Amino acid sequence: MNRVVITGMGVVTALGQDLDTFWGNLTSGKSGVSRIENFDVSEYPTQIAAEIKDFNIENYVDRKEARRMDRFVQFAVAGALNALKDAKLNVAEDTDPERVGVSVGSGIGGLGTWEEQHRILLEKGPKRVSPFFIPMMIANMASGQVSMITGAKGPNSTAVTACATGTHSIGDSFKILQRGDADVMICGGAEATITPIGVAGFCALRAMSTRNEEPTKASRPFDVDRDGFVMGEGAGILVLETLEHAQKRGARIYAEVIGYGMSGDAYHMTDPDPDGAARCMKRAIKDAGISPEDVTYINAHGTSTPVGDKSETTAIKKTLGEYASKVAVSSTKSMTGHLLGAAGGVEAVICGLTIANNTIAPTINIDNQDPECDLDYVPNVAREANVKIAMSNSFGFGGHNATIVLKKFEA
């Protein structure tokens, strides 16, 4: 089987839209959470999110193209173009386009487009609904537009597994490359659900923090005073290549992808099952051919919900046993917010940067650690460490679980 490496990464987040800004803010413990400005939230229980204030898609594509893309697709395109630029890879000129694939998922897809066109339907009638409504809204259009804009003609698919989407997209791409069905995969997740109905829906679930007066302190994974997750938006995209392909073109390598695990809880629509998450992590470790004691760092799913954080802590203990207390675990959602289907993409980028920079980003806002969440969560301050193997967890509504394992590259 082929070895698979990360050669390029791109992010679009509330903490930054380029790697240097993003990593600098992350390692300094800065929160991207603020009051929502895109619409009137005065009647909402939750009025905060990690909203991207200054995104301009016309920095990447022309206005006509941009108008035919939902915001989540725009994020995906920007992230992919940033990742390819970072990888110094031009699909048409530097490789065989038929050996370059795309797998960029979204948990929800074009919610903003759906909402806007439904308003037009009610106010102006069916004849005024845009002919671009469907192709703007459907979740697979992130992969579709990235393929069209970059010229990638290889395997092209879309995972839709709620908050596990980005990690499934990367893991599936890893397997495509490992078995030789492509040389390059552009993969990750994109999401744009900070819309009136999106926020209302999660408020109705009572899943989100209502700490509106202290936005930057609202996302507080593993803290005893956590009261729900904080929504984020954006994209996290990786360029994965077979090692042979990367070395032939002299590419810079951030890290190697060595393992991928999946499982289903078969338990509850929204509540997690620690046994399902533990099965997922164990499968990823087995696929990587390592032992639990080899793991240096875990980027936790860590959403800041009372049930979820406790469940993941239990799952990590079930997976690593007594060694769990010796592993650094952090939830960067404390700063980025929860990007739903894009979370796994952004957090894979974080794991790649962690390995490359020998620095672990913290979990901020741990003022009073929950005694039932008793692992080393790298509280509040970044930590220098020689991270040889990093694991990233993503768990989604419906009981979808995904874990990937990255390793410091050794020729």
Positions marked active-site: 163
Say if strands 34-35 and 48-49 run parallel, antiparallel, or are unpaired. Answer: antiparallel
**Contacts for 125 with CB less than 8 Å, ≥ 6 apart:** none
CA–CA gap between residue 176 and residue 386 (Å, rounded):
29
**Region at 348 (left for phi over 0; alpha for psi -120 to 50; beta for the rest):** alpha
Helices 71-87, 141-150: axis angle to 10 degrees equals 40
**What residue type is assigned to position 151 of the chain?**
G
Beta bridge partners, 187, equal 103, 238
Largest distance between two CA atoms of the chain: 63
Residue 335 in contact with residue 15, Cβ under 8 Å?
yes
* Strand partners for 384: 359
Helices and strands (DSSP H and E) totals, the chain:
14, 14
169 C-beta neighbours (distance < 10 Å), count: 37
User: In this structure, what token pair is assigned to residue 128?
Assistant: 């005024």
Closest CA to 225 of 370, 379, 35: 370
Read off the tokens for 152: 């990638």
d(CA 41, CA 31): 20
- 201 exposure class (CB count in 10 Å sphere: 0-12, 13-18, 19+): middle
Assign 174 to helix, strand or coil.
helix
